[in-house]
Structure 1
Amino acid sequence: MTSTAPPDDDLCLRPATELAALVRAKEVSARELLEAHLARIERIDPQVNAIVTLDPEGARAAADAADAALAAGEEVGPLHGLPVAHKDTHATGGMRTTWGSPLHADTVPARDELVVERLRRAGAVRVGKTNVPEFAAGSHTFNPLFGATHNPWRHGLSAGGSSGGAAAALAAGLVPVAEGSDMGGSLRNPAAFCGVVGLRPSPGRVPTWPAGLGWATLSVQGPMGRTVGDVALTLSAIAGPDPRVPIALSEDGAGFAAPRPADLRGLRVAWAPDLGGLVPVEPAVPEVLAGLLPQLEAQGAVVEEACPDLREADEVFGTLRAWLFEATFGDVVRRSPEQVKEAIRRNAARGAALSGADVARAELAHTRLHEQVVGFFDRYDVLLAPTTQVLPFPVEQEYPTEVAGVPQEDYLGWMRSCTLISATGCPALSLPGGYTADGLPVGLQVVAAPRADLRLLEMAAAVEQVTGPARRPPL
């Protein structure tokens, strides 16, 4: 095969949508694409520590099989031949999955979980696993097995989390597509810190299986990419119903593949720089993002400062998260407390202390919160807000203890710009919204009405056209 591929580094930094088209047209082979990414991983990942398990030979065999399928004229999936790395909390059959915990340092699952299986069926080539905080608890990626993931924009700064390895790998050009999960911002926060796109879909849009708590809606799985189009393409492969998942939504995923940018003329935009006064934000963050607003207005959008009433969101998120932590980690904490980090022990203990009445009150508030956001999105098409309240901080710091002069009670406090939105059940996406004077990315959080995932992608694509293509980190 005669390749028309650009130099390897440029190939590794192209959008996934372009790479998928090149492979499908046989202008670049899956093997060539893989070798370019493996070479870049070898050269750059030691500085970043994004990929913690790597299987070059397994990936080469899968890439060769992908090329053979194309040569035979077989029908192929939307991600055919694209290298992918899976979050290290997502089970990969035959490949180590550690959850960032010494308790699972040598765990090799027997089978893929659903999100991994769907990416494989879509033709993606499994390269390895991306780094996470221990059991995905927290929005800073470090653990006792692999250490900290560094931000590709500046070594020594956090890449966010818990899908921090995935975001850093994308920004660094180590893989063109990735996936992760999001309870309190774990797809959006690292996307903001690393200058990529992370989508928290509506609960049930990407079914999670197997799952012990099949009816829970606080944690979701979703795609990450370097552009909105890349995220949409990946969502098309992992979304769709599954009868084993009780909250799974019925729409087929294929309809998300290529969203058309929304028309900004007349679009009703709500701008909430501090989510209605509920969250402190370091001044540099809204200062960067506010520069977008005149550009949106120049394209015909109607921008007003407004926010739904999120005052009950803290109780909803805090109570339901603690309940989930007790159900998921309570036995582990009681059995091996010395091998589980303090933040997990504390959350599980809070969950164990909850009464049935506590959980019932949180669910009543959850319902009221849903009604609030439904009414809000009758008046506005989209909500824009900062993704994070701070800029990337040093990797040695477990979490910011102060935001804009306001002390934070625990490791969740600085994440409330995301956790409050998680409690609403709305789909939300972070995309690069600008850069500080010294070059760090700042994430813009784009939120749409419940289950309006396609509309969210269309509006995010329109905003992305205004902000321009994301910059490349100086690697």
Structure 2
Amino acid sequence: MGIAEWREQLRRGEVSARELTDQHLARIAAVEPSLHAFLEVTAERARVDADRIDAARAAGEDLPPLAGIPLSIKDNLCTRGIRTTCSSRMLETFVPPYESTVTERLWNAGAVLLGKTNLDEFAMGSSTETSAFGPSRNPWDPERVPGGSSGGSAAAVAAGECIASLGSDTGGSIRQPASFCGVVGLKPTYGRVSRWGLVAFASSLDQVGPFSSSVADAAEILQVIAGADRRDATCLTARVPDYRAALQQPVAGLRVGLVKECFEAEGLDSEVRASALAAADQLQALGCELVELSCPRFNDGIATYYVIAPSEASANLARYDGVKYGYRATCDDPAAASLAEMTARSRAEGFGDEVQRRILIGTYALSAGYVDAYYKKAQQVRTLIRRDFERAFASVDVLLTPTSPTTAFRFGAHADDPLAMYLADLLTIPANMAGLPAISVPCGFDRSGLPIGVQLISGVLQEERLLQVAHHYEQAARVMERRPAAPLVA
């Protein structure tokens, strides 16, 4: 059932918030030994939260929109009094004294926190394999990755450990794991959702969004977390529309653009391609007009991203120096050790290989003599990518692409080839480059029974249109009703 159905049952007293919470805690206990989606389960707090909702209902109070709904939170969002590690040894013991804006809005809306989910270290990765605390596994096949960097959140929703979850998306970190795990993943417009309390990776690209089992549930979560925040200067002040009402608007007559470069991309699996095109045909059957168009610089997004994102990461992660907070290395002779030596050792021991690799790339790109050749040039290409999208949306309402070039790969498949791992985000990165909203919705399965996702992209602040089209496709295709058997899928 979805959030709206659970809300009605809770309102009528057919189920209590405590019962719903205990059901999900029992599910977590049953599958976590095989899945490792969670870094921390907050069972005691969850039961207190649920009991508070039940007491309010018994007293006849009006319940907020997410009252009693059990959620999980990616562990790079600060939660007051609960560890926020970013899956890194650097922050292994960090307990924030404050709450992020998005989680604060969830708790004010009555949501119940089940725990914090696993991720690639500092959100840098596409498989959750870079987590310092071990990888999460894909509920469809535990020998395969759940995607990344928000792999724990996607796996938790797919396995039925929570009704929905929050993740963050810098270059595809919500949409790619959503595709791999067969769930819905939404990246809003940059600035539509506050980043205050999100531990920064690349500040001009990061955005918070939901994972859920349906487009309607994604709309429910976005309705709560979207909106202006005076604590985040990059957060937009535009009015938040009624996303739930938008789901019911008809899609007949809308124009759906098929991005030629995406369907011709190197490394695109033939089954993924066929499944995404079948999704386009389904939208056509609903009355949409299909338009093939070109975004010439779409596939330049990945090279651009891997200059801009590491550059911003190198600046953001400079704060972790072993002095103010976080991991501090123990020197053999503390009396003789210099501050520079302690800082260097703290960073070398506290950060994993992938984080160090990106810091080095970014520091080089920003260094004297190279900043114009790399960082400045990448920003210029970013502008060209944005202009390609602007031209596309002058003639269509949404764009359609596969979400990821492949389905979930096996653990270790790209261990010796970081570039192959980076290509997992080939089709998701351009939306981040342009700050556009995008969503991944399940659209089929490959011959191994692994889920495939289709990506829809819309213009700036056009989440209503995006959710509208995604919802109608989801309702017509009913992909998950045809799902094959899977060991850990709810």
Q: TM-score, normalised by structure 2?
A: 0.87
Q: CA shift at 1:284, angstroms? A: 2.0
Q: Which residue of 2 aligns with 1:405?
A: none
SS at match of 1:470: helix
Counterparts in 2 of 1:213 and 1:91: CA distance versus 1, 3 Å: closer
Q: Which residue of 1 aligns with 2:389?
A: 373
Q: Quick check: 370-379 or 212-221, which moved more?
A: 212-221
SS at match of 2:18: helix
> Paired residue for 2:378, among 356, 362, 365?
362
- Indicate yes or no: 2:397 matched with 1:387: no
Native 8 Å contact 1:237 1:253 kept in 2: no
Q: Which residue of 2 aligns with 1:435?
A: 445
Q: How does 1:185-224 map to 2 (within 5 A)?
A: 185-210=172-197, 216-224=203-211
Looking at structure 2, the residues matched to 182 and 247 of structure 1 have their Cα atoms a distance apart, in angstroms, of: 16
Looking at structure 1, the residues matched to 113 and 433 of structure 2 have their Cα atoms a distance apart, in angstroms, of: 32
Native 8 Å contact 2:72 2:114 kept in 1: yes
Looking at structure 2, the residues matched to 279 and 265 of structure 1 have their Cα atoms a distance apart, in angstroms, of: 33
SS at match of 2:210: strand
Looking at structure 2, the residues matched to 214 and 133 of structure 1 have their Cα atoms a distance apart, in angstroms, of: 12
Q: Quick check: 263-272 or 250-259, which moved more?
A: 250-259
Q: CA shift at 1:376, angstroms? A: 0.7
Q: Which residue of 1 aligns with 2:308?
A: 320
Deviations 1:282-308 (A, max 9, x none): 222112222223332222222233232
Q: CA shift at 1:145, angstroms? A: 4.3
Native 8 Å contact 2:99 2:197 kept in 1: no
Q: CA shift at 1:330, angstroms? A: 3.7
Looking at structure 1, the residues matched to 59 and 232 of structure 2 have their Cα atoms a distance apart, in angstroms, of: 35
Give, as a single letter, the amino acid of the residue that structure 1 aligns with 2:273.
Answer: P
Looking at structure 2, the residues matched to 310 and 276 of structure 1 have their Cα atoms a distance apart, in angstroms, of: 14
Deviations 1:145-185 (A, max 9, x none): 43121111112111111111111111111100110100011
> Paired residue for 1:87, among 51, 62, 74?
74
- Indicate yes or no: 2:49 matched with 1:62: yes
- Indicate yes or no: 2:336 matched with 1:340: no
Deviations 1:345-390 (A, max 9, x none): 1211121122443433333333332222112111111111111111
- Indicate yes or no: 2:111 matched with 1:124: yes
Deviations 1:62-95 (A, max 9, x none): 1000111122233332111011111111111111
Q: Which residue of 2 aligns with 1:134?
A: 121
Q: Quick check: 381-390 or 281-290, which moved more?
A: 281-290
Deviations 1:396-418 (A, max 9, x none): 335594xxxxxx73531232111
Native 8 Å contact 1:229 1:258 kept in 2: no
Q: CA shift at 1:319, angstroms? A: 2.3
Which one has more relative contact order, counting CA pairs under 8 Å at least 6 apart?
2
- Indicate yes or no: 2:256 matched with 1:269: yes
Looking at structure 2, the residues matched to 352 and 294 of structure 1 have their Cα atoms a distance apart, in angstroms, of: 46
Q: CA shift at 1:119, angstroms? A: 0.9
- Indicate yes or no: 2:295 matched with 1:308: yes
Q: CA shift at 1:273, angstroms? A: 6.3
Looking at structure 2, the residues matched to 28 and 441 of structure 1 have their Cα atoms a distance apart, in angstroms, of: 32
Native 8 Å contact 1:436 1:442 kept in 2: yes
Counterparts in 2 of 1:446 and 1:144: CA distance versus 1, 3 Å: closer
Q: Which residue of 1 aligns with 2:96?
A: 109
Give, as a single letter, the amino acid of the residue that structure 1 aligns with 2:169.
Answer: D
Q: Quick check: 236-245 or 258-267, which moved more?
A: 258-267
Q: Quick check: 173-182 or 328-337, which moved more?
A: 328-337
- Indicate yes or no: 2:33 matched with 1:31: no
Native 8 Å contact 2:219 2:244 kept in 1: yes
Looking at structure 1, the residues matched to 411 and 73 of structure 2 have their Cα atoms a distance apart, in angstroms, of: 22
Q: Which residue of 2 aligns with 1:7?
A: none
Give, as a single letter, the amino acid of the residue that structure 2 aligns with 1:69.
Answer: A
Counterparts in 2 of 1:258 and 1:400: CA distance versus 1, 3 Å: farther
Q: Quick check: 257-266 or 122-131, which moved more?
A: 257-266
Counterparts in 2 of 1:377 and 1:399: CA distance versus 1, 3 Å: farther
Counterparts in 2 of 1:252 and 1:37: CA distance versus 1, 3 Å: farther
Looking at structure 2, the residues matched to 326 and 452 of structure 1 have their Cα atoms a distance apart, in angstroms, of: 32
Native 8 Å contact 1:387 1:444 kept in 2: yes
Q: Which residue of 2 aligns with 1:329?
A: 317
Give, as a single letter, the amino acid of the residue that structure 2 aligns with 1:119.
Answer: L
> Paired residue for 2:170, among 158, 168, 183?
183
Native 8 Å contact 1:276 1:309 kept in 2: no
Q: CA shift at 1:445, angstroms? A: 0.5
Native 8 Å contact 1:326 1:347 kept in 2: yes
Native 8 Å contact 1:140 1:399 kept in 2: no
Aligned length: 456
Looking at structure 1, the residues matched to 198 and 437 of structure 2 have their Cα atoms a distance apart, in angstroms, of: 21
SS at match of 2:143: strand
Q: CA shift at 1:106, angstroms? A: 2.2
Q: Which residue of 2 aligns with 1:166?
A: 153
Counterparts in 2 of 1:19 and 1:474: CA distance versus 1, 3 Å: farther
Deviations 1:258-294 (A, max 9, x none): 4324433222112236526454312221122222233
Counterparts in 2 of 1:367 and 1:280: CA distance versus 1, 3 Å: same
Q: CA shift at 1:144, angstroms? A: 5.4
Q: Quick check: 364-373 or 218-227, which moved more?
A: 364-373
> Paired residue for 1:462, among 472, 476, 488?
472
Native 8 Å contact 1:56 1:127 kept in 2: yes
SS at match of 1:385: strand
Q: TM-score, normalised by structure 1?
A: 0.90
SS at match of 1:67: helix
Q: CA shift at 1:122, angstroms? A: 1.0
SS at match of 1:147: coil
Q: Which residue of 1 aligns with 2:37?
A: 50
Task: For structure 2, list consecutive stretches of 5 or more residues without a partner in the other structure.
Answer: 322-343
SS at match of 1:27: coil
Looking at structure 1, the residues matched to 446 and 131 of structure 2 have their Cα atoms a distance apart, in angstroms, of: 32
Give, as a single letter, the amino acid of the residue that structure 2 aligns with 1:42.
Answer: A
Q: CA shift at 1:436, angstroms? A: 1.6
SS at match of 1:155: coil
Deviations 1:198-244 (A, max 9, x none): 00100011111046879943111111110000000000111010112
SS at match of 2:65: coil
